[in-house]
Structure 1
Amino acid sequence: MSNSKLESVEVNPNQPHTAVVIWLHGLGDSGNGFAPIVPELKIPDSLPIRFVFPHAPVRPITVNNNMEMRAWYDIASLDFNHRADRTGVETSAKQVEALIDAEIANGTPAECIVLAGFSQGGVIALHLGTRINKKLAGIMALSTYMCEPETLANEACDANKNTPILMAHGQQDNVVPVFMGNAAFKVLEENGYPVTWQDYPMQHSVCLEEINHISQWLQARLG
């Protein structure tokens, strides 16, 4: 599976792009889920950004009675400490890294690439972004948590030790409770990352205030 190329939905600007955002969806969603957010970000034409929304592979999910759906990894337990299947996380991280490598090969330097993700996608963004040996423009982790936070200190690559990380979460999230996101934020902070935290009065979703904040953050990182 790790060698198969991820299919993606692409939203390209009207002129040659100078930066790329790779944005990973959540459990049961697809790359189509977040593609409509691009016009809502109101990125100015002077900053041509290419957005790539890959589809996660379809796999059975243990906690959903083995129902098959798009997922970056299996969820075998809802236990907060063991929710993410490490093997699946690593496999998906390799596939997403291949997407990053493809953008670099097409002429966009890693320093002009933001890795973003929502929920399960955010788990991959945090896992890969802290371990990849290429300096990224930024890491965005929305309504998400961290796979095996205790391993970060030993496994982190120095390439992104100074890369800005944006974490955002809904205060009423009943899928990924806000304390799980905040715990990941604190682990990143303790490990010296320049991470910022924002929460909003919403559930496991995205709100207009957050979209505006994401837009400002992306423009600051990629402008």
Structure 2
Amino acid sequence: MTNSQLQLISVPANIHPPAGTIVLLHGWGANHHDLGDLAPYFELPEYQFLFPNGIFDHEFTETGKMWYSFTGAGQLTNRSVAQLATSRQILSEWVQSLPATTGVPLDRTWIAGFSQGGAMTLDIGLDLPVAGLIVLSGYLHPDRPKPTQNAPPVLIVHGRQDDVVPIFTARSSQELLSQWGVEVQYQEFEMGHSIVLEVLDVVRNFVANKSKL
């Protein structure tokens, strides 16, 4: 698969050209419809939303997709690492190609993701000149190197009761990103591995505030 073959859900903005583009990456075992239904609740009608489908079929669900596989213990195998490399390359090249198709420059393009999609957001986004990164119940890949250039600002939102991606993962990600000199906004909620309406409020404010700079 190449970046031109990504399956997409596109929600257009109510203005042309859009004020910006927001890319949202779904989690492990979900698909692009999982987050696509949330678009109206972000209350950012002047932004175009793009929801790409995962590169690989999920092993345990007929309709699920993934960016890479896990073992039962959440560890990466050689197969997982190879899949991650493929998803990294395709997503990175696709995001960089977006200005040619959307008319929106990268500095007004946002990358966001939930869970494994949040991990992919950090994986590719820290090295791209995008407007910002939004990580919802996600994590930083343990072997992710320090960015080689100025990274975009990052919003991390996580639930204290998350039993899929534990809260210490988000806290350690915030700490390491801050050590790297990345601007990080961090917020915890009393929730599990989910997205509640209050989270969307935080995301909307983050986008609005950074868009004014």
TM-score of the pair, normalised by structure 1: 0.84
Judged with a 3 Å threshold, the aligned counterparts in structure 2 of structure 1 residues 208 and 215 are, in CA distance, closer, same or farther, namely: same
Taking the aligned partners of 1:164 and 1:192, their CA distance within structure 2 comes to: 10
Q: Calculate the aligned-residue CA RMSD, in Å.
A: 2.2
Residue 68 of structure 1, CA deviation:
8.2
**Equivalent residue number for residue 127 of structure 1:** 123
User: Could you tell me how far 1:59 is from its partner in structure 2?
Assistant: 3.0
Contact kept? 2:29, 2:58, Cα under 8 Å: no
Q: 1:147 maps to what in 2? A: 141
1:53 to 51, 54, 60: 51
Query: How many correspondences in the alignment?
Result: 208
C-alpha spacing 1:86/1:58, structure 2 compared with 1 (3 Å): closer
Residue 97 of structure 2 corresponds to residue 110 of structure 1: no
* Paired position in structure 2 for 1:19: 20
Report the CA distance between 1:196 and its aligned residue. 1.5
Per the TM alignment, residue 96 of structure 1 is displaced from its structure 2 partner at its CA by 1.4
> How much has 1:113 moved relative to structure 2?
0.5
Partner residue, 2:132: 138
Q: Which residue of 1 aligns with 2:30?
A: 29
Maintained 8 Å contact 1:2/1:94: no
Following the alignment from structure 2 to structure 1, what is the Cα–Cα distance between the partners of residues 58 and 20?
34
Aligned to 1:78: 73
Instruction: Please give the per-residue CA displacement for 1:116-156, whole angstroms capped at 9, x wherever unaligned.
Output: 110010111011112x3x4110011110111124x423xx2
Q: CA deviation at 1:2?
A: 4.9
Q: Give unmatched runs, 5+ long, in structure 1.
A: none
> Secondary structure in 2 aligned to 1:185?
helix
- Separation in structure 2 between the aligned mates of residue 114 and residue 96 of structure 1, nearest angstrom: 13
Task: Quote the Cα distance in structure 2 between the aligned partners of 1:184 and 1:89.
Answer: 19
What is aligned with 1:93? 88
Range that drifts further, 120-129 or 10-19: 10-19
User: 2:4 & 2:100 partners in 1: Cα distance?
Assistant: 18
Q: Deviations over 1:156-183 (max 9, x none)?
A: 23042xx210001111111111111211
**CA distance, structure 2, for counterparts of residue 60 and residue 15 of structure 1:** 36
| Aligned equivalent of 2:39 | 38
> Are the structure 2 counterparts of residues 41 and 4 from structure 1 closer, same or farther at C-alpha, using a change threshold of 3 Å?
closer
For the 8 Å contact 1:28–1:70, the answer to whether it is kept is yes
User: 3-state DSSP class of the match of 1:176?
Assistant: coil
Equivalent residue number for residue 195 of structure 2: 206
Residue pair 1:77, 1:83 contacting (<8 A) in 2 also: no
Structure 2 residue aligned with 1:194: 183
Q: Structure 2 unaligned runs (5+)?
A: none
Contact 2:3 2:91 survives alignment (8 Å): no
Q: Mapping of 1:146-165 within 5 angstroms?
A: 146-149=140-143, 151-153=144-146, 156-160=147-151, 163-165=152-154
Q: Taking structure 2 as the reference length, what is the TM-score of the superposition? A: 0.88
